[in-house]
């Protein structure tokens, strides 16, 4: 009977150790709502959420001007206003998936690609994606840099997610259309939509996000929430758990925009 209980306890611990990790950005805030995060330091930076690193860069151009690219997190609720001054807001409801917290905002740098790095190689289940208010407004109405999308032009605004293993080899690519005007009627994502990344397999160490548009000046932004990763315990963790239970049995017989 004791052996059965020990085996059950080990199985429970292993199951707990391998439970999914959901990055929802909510725990990052220590201040109030309707704000966004921007570092006070310059250079290539990374912020971390549950062991997962989100890369970004802030550049000082002098004279009080600076720019950023990569990733940040936000709780701005202002979904109906376009323009770069509202670059941190999500489209649709203006809220995160839960309706009460924060979400990630990705802005692709001119050099291309924004990265997310995991602490260990594992399976990435997927995440919820949405347009930002800025990108959505530009797609629908155009602005001083880009024309509005049209079915006559067969316009397409796409997000490409590529997974890489621990040695930097590609393990696969997933494409997700944020706006698709290649059909009879145009469609634009304006609500949180699940992007399934399970096809990348179980050996993903990092993700790279690239954006493309048939209209070259579409703002390369998208919003993310609830990035879900299958957390696999490191081998040492499993060994220690098993040794611990073994000992117990014997004893008892894881586009540039400027800021001013």
- The helix (H) or strand (E) run that includes residue 71 is strand 65-74
pLDDT confidence of residue 238:
43
| Confidence bin at 250 (pLDDT 50/70/90) | very low
Over residues 206-217, mean pLDDT: 97
| Alpha carbon of residue 69 to chain centroid | 14
Q: Does 173 or 253 have the greater pLDDT score?
A: 173
Measuring CA to CA, how many Å separate 83 from each of 65, 96, 126, 228? 18, 20, 29, 30
pLDDT confidence of residue 26:
86
pLDDT confidence of residue 242:
42
Residue 130: DSSP 8-state: E
* Burial letters 176-195, b for 16+ CB under 10 A, else e: bebbbbeeeebebbbebeeb
Maximum average pLDDT range among 73-82, 112-121, 167-176, 224-233:
167-176
Q: Is the pLDDT of residue 30 over 70?
A: no
Measuring CA to CA, how many Å separate 57 from each of 167, 174, 231? 24, 25, 27
Over residues 22-40, mean pLDDT: 72
Q: Does 49 or 37 have the greater pLDDT score?
A: 49
The model carries a pTM of 0.83
pLDDT confidence of residue 229:
97
- Partnered with residue 212 across adjacent β-strands are 158
Give tens-digit pLDDT for 178-190: 999 999 999 999 9
pLDDT confidence of residue 252:
39
Structure tokens, 57: 């860069």
| Confidence bin at 126 (pLDDT 50/70/90) | very high
- Is residue 71 within 8 A of residue 88, CB to CB? The reply is no
- Partnered with residue 220 across adjacent β-strands are none
Considering the domain 20-232 in this protein, what is its CATH number?
2.60.120.1350
| Confidence bin at 254 (pLDDT 50/70/90) | very low
pLDDT confidence of residue 29:
63
Measured distance CA(200)–CA(42) in Å, rounded: 33
Measuring CA to CA, how many Å separate 32 from each of 29, 36, 174, 177? 7, 10, 35, 33
- Is residue 94 within 8 A of residue 136, CB to CB? The reply is no
Per the prediction, the chain carries an average pLDDT of: 84
pLDDT confidence of residue 64:
87
Measured distance CA(14)–CA(4) in Å, rounded: 15
Over residues 42-60, mean pLDDT: 89
- Is residue 121 within 8 A of residue 229, CB to CB? The reply is no
- Is residue 108 within 8 A of residue 212, CB to CB? The reply is no
Angle at Cα 117 formed by Cα 111 and Cα 121, nearest 5°?
A: 135
Range name among 21-35, 73-87, 245-259 with the lowest pLDDT average: 245-259
């Amino acid at each position: 009977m004791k052996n059965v209980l020990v085996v059950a306890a080990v199985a429970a611990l292993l199951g707990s150790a391998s439970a999914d990790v959901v990055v929802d950005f909510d725990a990052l805030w220590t201040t109030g709502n309707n704000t966004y995060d921007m570092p006070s330091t310059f250079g290539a930076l990374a912020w971390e959420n549950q062991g997962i690193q989100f890369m970004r860069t802030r550049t000082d151009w002098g004279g009080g001007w600076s720019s950023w690219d990569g990733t940040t997190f936000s709780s701005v609720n202002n979904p109906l206003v376009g323009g770069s001054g509202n670059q941190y807001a999500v489209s649709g409801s203006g809220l995160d998936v839960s309706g009460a917290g924060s979400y990630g905002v990705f802005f692709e740098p001119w050099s291309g690609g924004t990265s997310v790095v995991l602490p260990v190689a594992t399976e990435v289940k997927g995440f919820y994606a949405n347009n930002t208010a800025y990108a959505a407004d530009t797609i629908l109405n155009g602005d001083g840099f880009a024309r509005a999308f049209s079915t006559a032009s067969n316009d397409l605004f796409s997000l490409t997610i590529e997974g890489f293993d621990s040695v930097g080899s590609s393990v696969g690519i997933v494409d997700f259309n944020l706006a698709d005007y290649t059909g009879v009627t145009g469609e634009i994502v304006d609500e949180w939509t699940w992007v399934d990344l399970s096809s990348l397999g179980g050996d993903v160490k990092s993700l790279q996000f690239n954006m493309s548009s048939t209209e070259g000046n579409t703002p390369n932004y998208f919003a993310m929430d609830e990035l879900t990763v299958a957390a696999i315990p490191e081998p040492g963790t499993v060994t220690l758990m098993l040794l611990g239970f073994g000992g117990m049995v014997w004893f008892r017989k894881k586009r540039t925009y400027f800021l001013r």
